Amino acid sequence: MKRVICLLLCAFVLLGSAAFALKKVEFAGGKAGKVIFDHDKHISQKKVVKGCFTCHIKDVKANLFPKTIKGTVKITMKTIDEGKFCGKCHIKNGSAFAVIYTKGKENCTKCHVSQKKSEIESES
């Protein structure tokens, strides 16, 4: 009986986690091209030790990415440079690659997917 209960619990957990796969979020991205944020890719990083709660926390003022209605939060290169949103980790000497917006555009294509690096550089 204990085995049956254990197997049922395992099956429930596995099926439940598959049903709640993390989604990809698409941002317009302006002239540089759209940005697709992949939750699974970020959560799988060793540096993201608290899982979802690394960015989504209960303290509204400290919450990096509060759950919002589409279009209510404007993420720009300026806000990222200021250390907000993506810029909390993606800064020089941060826990992830730096965006490097003000001194160059080397990492544009790591986030902006619809435009080639050479096209972005030619806009400068």
Hey, what's the torsion of the CAs at 101, 104, 106, 110, to 10 degrees?
10
SS3 category, 67: coil
Is 47:41 a contact under the CB 8 Å cutoff?
A: no
* pLDDT for the residue 45: 77
**What are the pLDDT digits (tens) for 5-36?**
655 565 554 444 444 566 788 888 788 888 88
- Residue 71 contacts residue 80 (beta carbons within 8 Å): no
CATH architecture type of domain 20-118: Alpha-Beta Complex (3.90)
| pTM score | 0.60
List the domain boundaries for the chain.
Answer: 20-118
Q: Check if the beta carbon of residue 83 is closer than 8 Å to that of residue 91.
A: yes
